Amino acid sequence: MAVDGAWAVKFNTPMGEREVTVTLASDGGALSGSLAGPQGGGDIEGGTVEGDNVAWNVKINSPMGEVTLNFEGVVDGDSMAGKVQTPMGANDFTGMRA
């Protein structure tokens, strides 16, 4: 499944819902790209893609300082869903191709 492109991603945190844009590019089993949002953004690190399964990490600046978000999800056509691990715990995320 092609994951390449821009995705509008939403997830909840203890401080409310966050909306970010994630731009992904696959190269074999490697996944790269970036995340941008109101709290800042960063480059994707350690990204992988295997079939419809995707995973990536990104460091962002937040009101608590620099934090790492760890995403794991499944792509289904023009939508994506999974879990994002934050310092405050795991939360569901959804994404739609932008």
The pTM of this model reads 0.91
- Answer whether 50's CB lies under 8 Å from 56's CB: no
pLDDT by residue for the chain (98 residues), tens digit each? 589 999 999 998 777 888 999 999 999 999 999 999 887 789 999 999 999 999 999 998 776 678 899 999 999 999 999 999 988 889 999 999 98
Q: What is the CB neighbour count within 10 angstroms for residue 89? A: 10
**Six token digits for residue 22:** 């994630």
Domain ranges of the chain: 5-97
Residue among 34, 1, 41, 2 nearest 18 (CA)? 41
Whether CATH 3.30.470.20 fits 5-97 = no
